[in-house]
């Protein structure tokens, strides 16, 4: 790669748009997944807002999570579908910055919210008598706001530091703009930037994952001590969906960001990217609603009132 920097006005995204024969299938598949994710997450948000008996901390955080899922999938998928439909593979420089910023914004805030939801379940099961006092309306709003503020701050920091570097090429080996692929085409000394991003992100993630794990260790200890045969399955059923979402989120992110970076985009890279970008927003609403009787009853009641 040449060391001469370029004055860029656009980037070329490579991936599905490079395979002309598969573009119609790519567009239809992405459209189906996107519409399903939008419908599912809007269903969660609408049912929780319209049903007053669901105005509880757990469902308040679930609605925030659905909004974050809706935002994260809307950052990357519509642009990729547009490129396939128009048979182009470009994105403007400002569009690339926006993709990086908003993808980080929704991803980071999503990660922090999962931790708060773990804390909510910990208080509900391990300290139920003080639950309403600790998880009051004001506290829940402040917790939710803190996730959005942290997401905004860290995404601004990462995006700002990334786009102070110069680029030797405008060919991005991905169907959307992301930091690892952009660092590969940078002319600047990206080792320090990459080291800073990896260390900062890994440190925060390690601390937060440790808190989540410790919360669930205490939760399972408390659940196993429950003697009632009716209360124990109910306690597990409220925790299990959230635990599955956390595992799905961590695995999908790890497969993308902790794998060795290759010079060329392989089919496996594309599959992992789709898994990372689309699977959590598509699966999270199903995981939360499939065994949640309150949510399903509220949905059918809402349908009946129409």
CATH number of 28's domain: 1.20.1070.10
Statement: residue 155 has pLDDT above 80: yes
Q: Which of 126, 119, 125 is nearest to 143 (CA)?
A: 119
> How crowded is residue 112: how many other Cβ atoms within 10 Å of its Cβ?
21
**Poorest-pLDDT segment among 66-70, 234-238, 249-253:** 234-238
Residues facing residue 92 across a β-bridge: 10
216 falls within a domain:
yes
pTM of the model: 0.85
1 falls within a domain:
no
**Domains: count for the chain:** 1
| Residue 73: pLDDT band with limits 50, 70, 90 | very high
3 falls within a domain:
no
Contact 209, 250 (CB under 8 A): yes
Statement: residue 72 has pLDDT above 80: yes
Could you tell me how many residues make up the chain? 306
Tell me the CA distances in angstroms from 143 to 44, 116, 140, 173, 247, one per residue in order. Answer: 20, 7, 5, 37, 22
> How crowded is residue 87: how many other Cβ atoms within 10 Å of its Cβ?
9
268 falls within a domain:
yes
**What pLDDT shows up at residue 1?**
45
* Rounded average pLDDT over 300-305: 76
Contact 185, 167 (CB under 8 A): yes
Statement: residue 229 has pLDDT above 80: no
Beta-sheet strands, E only, within 119-251: 171-172
4 falls within a domain:
no
| Residue 300: pLDDT band with limits 50, 70, 90 | confident
Instruction: Note down the domain range covering 291.
Output: 10-305
Kindly state the greatest CA–CA separation across the chain.
70
161 falls within a domain:
yes
221 falls within a domain:
yes
220 falls within a domain:
yes
**Poorest-pLDDT segment among 47-56, 63-72, 178-187:** 178-187
């Amino acid at each position: 790669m040449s060391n001469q920097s370029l004055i860029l006005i656009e980037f070329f995204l490579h991936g599905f748009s490079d395979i002309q024969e598969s573009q119609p299938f790519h567009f239809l598949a992405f459209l189906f997944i996107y519409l399903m994710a939008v419908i599912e997450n809007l269903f969660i948000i609408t049912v929780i807002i319209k049903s007053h008996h669901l105005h509880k901390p757990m469902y308040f955080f679930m609605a925030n999570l659905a909004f974050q899922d809706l935002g994260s999938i809307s950052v990357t998928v519509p642009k990729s579908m547009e490129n396939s439909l128009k048979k182009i593979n470009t994105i403007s420089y400002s569009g690339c910055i926006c993709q990086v910023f908003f993808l980080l914004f929704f991803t980071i805030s999503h990660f922090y919210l999962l931790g708060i939801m773990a804390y909510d379940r910990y208080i509900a099961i391990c300290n139920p008598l003080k639950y309403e006092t600790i998880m009051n309306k004001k506290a829940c709003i402040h917790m939710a706001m803190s996730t959005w503020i942290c997401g905004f701050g860290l995404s601004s920091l990462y995006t700002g530091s990334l786009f102070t570097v110069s680029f030797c090429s405008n060919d991005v080996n991905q169907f959307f703009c992301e930091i690892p692929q952009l660092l590969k085409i940078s002319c600047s000394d990206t080792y320090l930037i990459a080291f800073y991003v990896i260390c900062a992100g890994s440190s925060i993630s390690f601390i937060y994952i440790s808190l989540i794990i410790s919360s669930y260790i205490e939760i399972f200890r408390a659940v196993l001590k429950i003697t009632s045969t009716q209360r124990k399955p109910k306690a597990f059923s409220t925790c299990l969906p959230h635990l599955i979402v956390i595992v799905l989120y961590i695995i999908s992110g790890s497969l993308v960001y902790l794998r060795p970076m290759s010079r060329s985009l392989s089919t496996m890279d594309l599959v992992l990217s789709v898994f990372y970008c689309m699977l959590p927003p598509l699966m999270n609403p199903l995981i939360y609603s499939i065994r949640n009787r309150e949510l399903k009853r509220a949905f059918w009641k809402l349908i009946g009132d129409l």
